[in-house]
Amino acid sequence: MQNLKVDESWGNASRQIVQAGQRMDQRGWVPATAGNLSCRLPDGRIAITRSGGHKGFLTDSDVIEITPDGVPVDPANRASAETLLHTQLYAHDPAIGAVLHGHSVAATILSMDEPSDAITLAGYEVLKVFEGQTTHDTSLELPLFHNDQDIARLATVVAPKLVDMRLGYLIRGHGVYVWGKDMFTALARLEGLEFLLACELARLQKKA
C-alpha cells in the first residue's frame, strides 16, 4: 500500500508538470526547448523536467527525479543546467512546492532594456495575485540579475536577495523564475507576472 501511495504521489507531480508545461507553451513563454519546471513532493522528493524537452509536448518520461543537490537519481537522466536555481529555492524555503522558469518576449526585452537592478511594477490590480498584497495602490520590485552560464556563481548572487523577493526574479536576456506553495499557486503567480510584464512592455512601446 505504501508503494502504491508513493507511485500515486509521483504520478500527480508528473501530471502537474506536464499540464503546466503545456499551458506555458500555449502562451509563448517557453519557446523551442527553453524553460524548466519542478515540484517538490510531500515526501521531499523533487521532480523536474528533463534537459532538452519541449515543454508543450512533455510526457511522464520527461519528468525526472533529482536529489536536493540537483543530481539525477538515475545517472542515465540529464537535468537542466539551471537545476541548481530550483534546488536553491527549495532549500531556502520549506514551504515552496513548485518552481517555474519561462522565457517570454516581454520578460526578455524588459530585462535587457532596464538600466536599474529591478523593474518596479506599480498601480496594477493584478499585483493582488501576489501574497500579502490587498490593494492596487502599491508597488513591488522584480529584481534583475545578469545572465551567467556559471549557474553556481549566479546562485550565489541571487541568494542574498531571496528573502526580500515578493514577485520572483528576472535574469537579463533570459527569463523569469517564479515559485509558490504548490503548482497551482506558482502558475497563477507566473501568469500574473507575465501579464504585468506584458503591460509594461506595451506601455513602453506606446511611448516610443
Length of the chain counted residue by residue: 208
Residues annotated within the binding site are 101, 103
Alpha helices in 31-73 (DSSP H): none
Residues annotated within the binding site for Zn(2+) are 101, 103
Looking up cell 500527480, which residue turns up?
12
Residue 178: φ, ψ to 5°: -135, 150
Decide: 183 and 39 in contact? Cβ < 8 Å: yes
Eight-class DSSP state of 139 = E
Eight-class DSSP state of 161 = G
Cα 127–Cα 189–Cα 142 angle in degrees, nearest 5 = 60
By C-alpha distance, which of 14, 98, 15 is closest to 63?
A: 14
Q: Which amino acid is at 93?
A: D
What whole-number distance in Å separates Cα of residue 169 and Cα of residue 151?
15
Burial 25-48 (b: 16+ CB within 10 A, else e): beeebbbeebbbbbbbeeeebbbb
- Residue 76: partners with Cβ closer than 8 Å, 6 or more residues away: none
